[in-house]
Amino acid sequence: MASDPSRTGTSLNQSAPIVKPLQEKKRASTSEKQLDAKTLRRLAQNREAAKKSRLRKKAYVQQLESSRMKLTQLEQELQRARSQGLLLGSSGGVVGNISSGAAMCDMEYARWLEDDERHMSELRTGLHSNLSDTDLRLMVNTYLSHYDENFRLKGMAAKFDVFHLLTGMWTSPAERCFLWMGGFRPSELIKILISQLDPLTEQQLMGICSLQHSSQQAEEALSQGLEQLQQSLIDTVAGGPAIDGMQQMAIALSKLANLEGFVRQADNLRQQTLHQLPRILTVRQAARCFLVIGEYYARLRALSSLWASRPRGRLMSDEQPCQTTTELQMVQPSQSHFSHF
């Protein structure tokens, strides 16, 4: 049966407009696929970053748990040794010239220094590899927690042997020169940082200067309190024969117990200062800030090592002219003692 040409033409004419919408639909589908590819790639990057963040947090939690277990083990060993009569507490018993609490403090601080080198290396790598601000902030927070752990360890050490902590025998000799109440002086540390963190905005500079001023006021208040305690202790110990000896020592011991409180307050001030700095600085400035602090104390420890290994015989021969010059200045009162400066 022959088909009707007119009907066939009509059918072709009706199907012709359908081709264009199909092409447009195909192009829209292609653009959607491209858009989806970009979105998927971005989502994959976000998932990878989140995975890395979770791994870092997991490693940090494991490290804290390991440190807690080590501390618990050390406390158990010390308690067992005391019960066996091998060690006495910080009330006077010592192993050699170091009390058991001081020995634990030194051991834990040595472990903390090892971790500090690793954290500094991570910060340095993060700054040089242009990490995102999110990842860098996580590293800064981890470093802050690392310092928090040190303050917690020092709090335990102060209970065992506050004298060991105050005299700085757990640090290197060069660090000991700049010690204030068992640690760094916050206002002096801020002074070092200001010159190392340029450029700073006017608002940041005002914030840091305000932090330095408040830290200095708190330091002066603590120093005055410690001086009053020392004077009170001198008066008690040198009370004279009219006071009963046992009563005199009991009063002196009760006053000595206040030393732990001063060390704790000083450490609280140090801790607050370190936590306040990242709130004023950008995340990259904060990373540089902690890197500067770590490198500064690493140089002081290196200086101590160089001083200990110096050729002493040669230095003694070199000291003779200096001693003669000093003696000449002493016999000439009209000349200023500070003229050579």
Q: Could you tell me the sign of the dihedral formed by the alpha carbons of 331, 335, 338, 341, in that order? A: negative
Tens digit of each residue's pLDDT (9 = 90 or more) over 216-241: 999 999 999 999 999 999 888 887 66
Q: Is the pLDDT of residue 245 over 80?
A: no
Beta bridge partners of 95: 98
Give the pLDDT score at 193: 92
Is residue 160 within 8 Å of residue 104, measured between CB atoms?
yes
Q: Is the pLDDT of residue 51 over 90?
A: no
Is residue 235 within 8 Å of residue 301, measured between CB atoms?
no
Q: Could you tell me the sign of the dihedral formed by the alpha carbons of 154, 157, 163, 169, in that order? A: negative
User: Which SS3 state, helix, strand or coil, does residue 95 take?
Assistant: strand
Q: Is the pLDDT of residue 11 over 50?
A: no
How is the chain split into domains, by residue range? 41-83, 100-307
Give the pLDDT score at 86: 42
**Which residues have CB under 8 Å from 163's CB, separation 6+?**
259
Angle between helices 258-280 and 202-237 (to 10 degrees): 180
The CA distances from residue 17 to 20, 23, 33, in Å, are 6, 11, 25
Q: Is the pLDDT of residue 312 over 60?
A: yes
Mean pLDDT of the chain: 78
Give the pLDDT score at 324: 41
111 CA to centre of own chain: 14
Beta bridge partners of 98: 95
**Which residues have CB under 8 Å from 28's CB, separation 6+?**
none
Please tell me the distance from the alpha carbon of residue 291 to that of residue 126, in angstroms, as a whole number. Answer: 11
Q: Is the pLDDT of residue 2 over 70?
A: no
Please tell me the distance from the alpha carbon of residue 337 to that of residue 321, in angstroms, as a whole number. Answer: 16
